[in-house]
Structure 1
Amino acid sequence: MLFAVSRIARPTAAPVSKAIQARNMATLKEIQQRLKSVQNIEKITKSMKMIASTKVAKAQRGMEAARVFGSASKTLFTSAETKAGADDKVLLVASSSDRGLCGGIHSSVSKATRRAIVEMPEAELVILGDKAKAQLSRAVRKNIAITFNQIGKDMPSFEEAASVVDTIKANGIEFDTANIVYNKFISVVSYEADIIPAYSEATFKASPNFAMYEIEDDVLANLQEFSFANGLYWAMVEGHAAEMCSKRAAMENATKNAGEMIGKLTMTYNRGRQAVITNELIDIITGASAL
């Protein structure tokens, strides 16, 4: 029995060593591009860390000055034994900023504000900063009365705090008690959400020890606005100091992670390059042996 045998032409396969070499070259090019990208990121994060470090000292000096004025207003209410009533109309002020790349500092204010709204569902909300606005708009949009941005871009000032209070008053937002939610500066690596209270004229006038001050009505109105702006300024400056420290820590960690990734990518690149050189040497030695 005869069998017809047909030959099928097949493309000649490339040598295994050359295929590996081409594949390694593509991989090496990708690693080199990734390495360059990570090195650029490291330069950026290192620069941002240096900028934040220069701002930390200035922010802490401003915070110490603001604490003196803020504690004076707080002592006034403490001496008068001013307290919020059970049926008081509450206004919540979330003090944050527009900047990112500073860890979870905005989430701290947002979470504390949400917890406060759970306890006081009817409370109106004023938000300072786009970051907190984006986080709170998803959960408590119906409570938001007014929002602010572009405040405290460099260092918060009392004029900015006073303008916020004037805007709140001009929009007809009334309250008996205002709770300012902010990040309390504890140390360069630690902060926590806290509340600074401010009170309306009627609430302060109803204090048990109010008579000892003998304040006239026209002066009382100015005092109420000043104490509200003072507490807001304190919250903004202390939150700014905590933000700068958090940003410096975040950029330091990012620079450290970039450095570790650069080391790993450099080692991978060197190993791949050594493999390519080894394959080339094998081809040369094999060709010489065949001759």
Structure 2
Amino acid sequence: MMLSRAARPALRAGVAAAARPATLNATNAANYATLREIEDRLKSIRNIEKITKTMKIVASTKLTRAQRAMTESKTYGQTSNTVFESAETKPLEGEDKKTLIVVCSSDKGLCGGIHSGLSRKIRRTLAEKPNSDLAILGEKCKAQLSRSNGKNIVLSFAGIGKDVPTFADASAIADQITSLPTDYASIQVVYNKFLNAQSYEPVEIEAFSEEAIAASPNFSAFEIEGDALGNLREYALANSIYWGLAEGHACEQSARRNAMDNASKNAGDMINKFQILFNRTRQAVITGELVEIITGAAASEEG
């Protein structure tokens, strides 16, 4: 009986101490798991921030080359436009005549809504001229337009945008386009026009058919022989495609640099928020451990 009474307070203290830390241990385990999750998330965001900062630097370097190529391509394209403006060339109209729209996009993403804006313009154009055909340069716009206007696509090219476009690339594309069986009244080259380092807009360049060039009011002033007309038409088309690809490439690099800059800033903001959350959670874990130690010490004293 005496032993039982002596053991009773220690037994009560032991039961109380065992009951209270059980809840604290469960809470502590949850806090440690949460702390580990936050730490993993922080590590992931920091890795993403490193990637986006690197991509921004790469895009900035490529933008310089792209702008130089864009300036050179304008010389080709604007020269052809000057000839057709002087000749007063106009696209031929007729119910049996179709329009071919050449879309200058690329295969690469992570550059904001540059490809989406181009696709929206094409959809608006097709809503007005549903009988038009599409020749798409690049996989991005092809994927977007295939869902809504797949029946209009007659030609597509992959491998676009890996490097700065060249006139040889444009010539090869123009050769494929002129080999299409359909006799088009006009060919419109749609691309993103470079306004400045922050903005761009989708525009089109008109590339005329042989009949339209031959029917120009002032065409005779240039004294071009009939055999050379087909070569002039293909050369002018290659110039326009080269211009569109080069300027579109510069817009893409500029948009990618801006997109990666914004992504890096957003990652930095997330890192700051998660760092604060990590610190608060760690303080909560430490406080929980202190409470457990103090509770255990108090229970021992009661014993």
Q: Tell me the TM-score range normalised by the shorter chain.
A: over 0.9
Secondary structure of residue in 2 paired with 1:125: strand
User: How far off is 1:289 after superposition?
Assistant: 3.5
Cα distance in 2 for partners of 1:118, 1:206 equals 29
User: How far off is 1:13 after superposition?
Assistant: 7.4
- Give ranges in structure 1 of 5+ residues lacking alignment: 1-10
Is 1:79 matched up with 2:78?
no
Tell me the equivalent position of 1:286. 295
Cα distance in 2 for partners of 1:190, 1:134 equals 24
- 8 Å CA contact 1:152, 1:160 repeated in 2: no
**Which letter does structure 2 place at the counterpart of 1:73?**
S
Larger radius of gyration: 2
Is 1:234 matched up with 2:243?
yes
Aligned ranges 1:1-291 → 2 under 5 Å: 15-87=22-94, 88-290=97-299, 291=301
**Which letter does structure 2 place at the counterpart of 1:54?**
T
Task: Output the TM-score relative to the length of structure 1.
Answer: 0.93
Cα distance in 2 for partners of 1:196, 1:285 equals 79
Q: Which deviates more from structure 2 when the two are superposed, residues 55-64 or residues 214-223? A: 214-223
Q: Comparing both structures, which one devotes a greater share of its residues to helix? A: 2
Could you list the per-position Cα deviations for residues 215-260 of structure 1 after superposition, in whole angstroms to 9, with x for gaps in the alignment? 1012221111100000000000000000000000001111111111
Cα distance in 1 for partners of 2:228, 2:266 equals 56
Q: Which deviates more from structure 2 when the two are superposed, residues 107-116 or residues 227-236? A: 107-116
Question: Superposition RMSD on alpha carbons, in Å?
Answer: 1.5
Tell me the equivalent position of 1:8. none
Q: How many residue pairs align between the two structures?
A: 281
- 8 Å CA contact 2:21, 2:292 repeated in 1: no
User: How far off is 1:170 after superposition?
Assistant: 2.7
Secondary structure of residue in 1 paired with 2:194: strand
**Which letter does structure 2 place at the counterpart of 1:60?**
Q
Q: Which deviates more from structure 2 when the two are superposed, residues 111-120 or residues 82-91? A: 82-91
Cα distance in 1 for partners of 2:182, 2:157 equals 15
Task: Output the TM-score relative to the length of structure 2.
Answer: 0.89
User: How far off is 1:164 after superposition?
Assistant: 0.6
Matched residues, percent identical? Answer: 51
Could you list the per-position Cα deviations for residues 55-98 of structure 1 after superposition, in whole angstroms to 9, with x for gaps in the alignment? 01110011011111111111111111111233242111111000
Tell me the equivalent position of 1:4. none
Cα distance in 2 for partners of 1:245, 1:79 equals 34
